[in-house]
């Protein structure tokens, strides 16, 4: 029996960072804004803290995934199921 997958669209906030050594003043002036992201993919797993999505599913095994992202639920702004497929 083939596994049934759901395709979801998730809008979420990504964190920002600055690389390299910085003075206290430079850190205080750091004014990056979190970026709103939108991911569309197959829902692979979910627990109370995260969802895991993949952009690709292996057509032969249907048990291998590529381009996987895990998104913390606290960062999710909205989520909707687009469709299910076998």
Domain ranges in the chain?
5-85
Mean pLDDT of 28-54: 91
CA-only gyration radius of the chain, Å: 17
Q: How confident is the model at residue 67 (pLDDT cuts 50, 70, 90)?
A: very high
Distances (CA, A) of 72 to 22, 25, 26, 49, 69: 28, 30, 28, 6, 10
Q: What is the pTM of this model?
A: 0.81
Any idea what the Cα angle at residue 39 is, between residues 62 and 31, rounded to 5°?
Answer: 145
Mean pLDDT of 8-31: 86
Q: Looking at the predicted structure, is the pLDDT value of residue 41 above 90? A: yes
Mean pLDDT of 59-80: 94
pLDDT at 2: 63
Distances (CA, A) of 41 to 17, 53, 57: 25, 6, 10
């Amino acid at each position: 029996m083939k596994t049934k997958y759901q395709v979801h669209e998730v809008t979420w906030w990504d964190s920002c960072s600055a690389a390299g050594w910085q003075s206290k003043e430079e850190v205080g002036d750091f004014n990056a804004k979190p970026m709103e992201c939108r991911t569309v993919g197959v829902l692979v797993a979910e627990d109370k803290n995260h969802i895991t999505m993949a952009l690709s599913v292996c057509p032969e095994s249907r048990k291998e995934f590529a381009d996987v992202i895990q998104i913390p639920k606290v960062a999710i702004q909205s989520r909707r199921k687009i469709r299910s497929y076998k």
